[in-house]
Amino acid sequence: MPQDRAGNVLSTGAEAAASYRAGIERVLRLDAGATAELETAVRLDPTFALGHATVALLAAESGDRAHAQIHLHLAERSTARASARERSAVHAIGVVCSGDGSSAFRSLVRHLTDYPSDALLLDVTFPTIAFSGVTETSAEVWSLVEQAAPAYGDDWFFLSLLAFVRQEQERYDDAMALAERALELEPYSGHAVHAAAHVHYETSDYAGGLRWLDGWLARSPATSTEFRSHASWHAALYELCMGDIAAVQHRWHTQLAPPESKGLRVLVDAGSMLHRCQLRQVWQLDLPTDELISAASMDLMRRPTSAFAALHAGLAWAVAGDVEELAALTRYATDAFPCGPAVLAPILHGLRAQCEGRHDAAADLIGQGLPHLERLGGSLAQRSVVDEAFLRSLVDCGRLDDARQQLARQMDSGRAVHWLPAELSALS
């Protein structure tokens, strides 16, 4: 019978299996076109349970709940002919699509304990550009990835994912070595490029990172478009930290904004970049928020499918200054996600207070959620926009000593300071 990339049986015909494998490779490289390949697989074999479940997974990750439910139903109807591994994967994917992060993580741990070579589901556990992740503690995911090492050897995907683990652990030299090896094996491994981009940022090597990343963008193929917009976000972040605002604005319009990206991608990358520029008070033109919200879709803005998406919807509404939509989002997110009451609610309330000029309240509210940011998913670089919103509020309400203490805590923990408000320049 046909097999997957690790030699596991695929309960389908040769043509459907070929399309499925091509789709999975696209997911693992962060290429565009993965969904089209996977939908071809289930069109060739409508009883291919794992194929349907994988289509459902990608649909759920993109926020298309209805499409996800259709394919989950078709997957469950077709499991009789599936292998034990495929049935386990279908079950785990179903729990992931339910949105219950704790249950999903437990299901994935059980599956990966039995089938550690299942690269797609290992990818699902990790909160990166591909998936929003399914656990609230980074150390649990790090351990899961590290334990899977014997099943992969010198596999470019695993080396890429491990590189991202190592940069999160602040083992930057190890991360770069792993990323470089992965790119020798697969030059367009999005995870490897992503890990290297984070290393340059967290070590404050903005100029070096910009040269390296722009070089990769110039030679990467059109099929890398799924990751290109996020790579461009990293490049714009370097430019922002270097103070080249004209370059940031040009890159926003040509590489981050629609039609280069849409949906969750445009919300997370283009939206957060606008928010950072607003916080730093450097965007001299009217912020193009209407364009952003239209490309993200109103459904995603009002009913995001993950806590991470909810945070970024809140950032976008805050940039637009729409406090009514921000209030409605806060009510929805507080009830919709396990971390809603403790993390999202205070941060989103704080963003609203910031919009309304209540900076002392904004600082208190955002500060409540700050210690628990990891529960929202995403990377340290992505979550740092909340640190910057907190710092901005402290400065704007005149609590400069508190702001200095916050920066000192950040530096004491080994984290780089990427932005220093003019009012605190004496600290530098």
pLDDT at position 374, please? 84
Tell me the pLDDT band of 158, cut-offs 50, 70 and 90. very high
Mean pLDDT of 61-71: 88
Cβ atoms 19, 180 nearer than 8 A = no
* pLDDT of the residue at 22: 97
What is the mean predicted confidence (pLDDT) over 263-269? 88
82-91, 171-180, 286-295, 399-408: which range is least confident on average? 286-295
Q: Which of 146-150, 223-227, 409-413, 422-426 has the lowest mean pLDDT?
A: 223-227
112 vs 99, higher pLDDT: 112
Burial of 336 (0-12, 13-18, 19+ CB in 10 A): middle
Asked if the model's pLDDT at residue 222 lies above 80, the reply is: no
Instruction: Give the domain ranges of the chain.
Output: 1-130, 297-428
Closest to 126 in 3D by CA, of 154, 168, 90: 168
DSSP letter assigned to residue 74: H
In the predicted model, is pLDDT for residue 104 greater than 90?
A: no
Q: HSE on the CB side for 332, CA within 13 Å?
A: 20
d(CA 199, CA 193): 10
Using CA atoms, how far apart are residues 250 and 270, in angstroms rounded to an integer?
12
Q: What mean pLDDT do residues 403-410 have? A: 90
The answer on pLDDT for 428 being more than 90 is no
- Please state the rounded mean pLDDT for residues 93-117: 89
Return the bridge partners of 3, or none: 9
User: pLDDT at position 319, please?
Assistant: 94
Both structure tokens of 122: 């290992």
Is a pLDDT exceeding 80 seen at residue 134?
A: no
Q: Could you report how far apart the first and last alpha carbons of the chain are, in Å?
A: 63
Closest CA to 142 of 168, 107, 175: 168
pLDDT tier for residue 235 given thresholds of 50, 70 and 90: very high
pLDDT at residue 130 above 70?
Answer: no
pLDDT of residue 259: 80
- Note whether 214 and 252 are within 8 A (CB): no
* Segment 212-238 mean pLDDT: 85
The tally of CA atoms less than 13 A away on the side-chain side of residue 178 is: 25
Task: Give the rounded percent of residues in the chain with a pLDDT score beyond 90.
Answer: 69
Give backbone dihedrals phi and psi of 155, rounded to 5 degrees, phi first: -90, 130
| Residue 225 reports pLDDT greater than 70 | no
Give the residue, 101 or 48, on which the prediction is more confident.
Answer: 48
- At 427, the pLDDT band (50, 70, 90 cuts) reads very low
Confidence at 361, pLDDT banded by 50, 70, 90: very high
The pLDDT confidence band at residue 43, using thresholds 50, 70 and 90, is very high
Looking at per-residue confidence, does 221 or 274 come out higher? 274
Domain 1-130 has CATH 1.10.1740: no
With b for 16 or more beta-carbon neighbours within 10 A and e for fewer, the 1-25 pattern comes to: ebebeeebebbbeeebbbbbbbbbb
Q: How far apart are CA 300 and CA 59, in angstroms?
A: 13
The type of residue at 222 is A
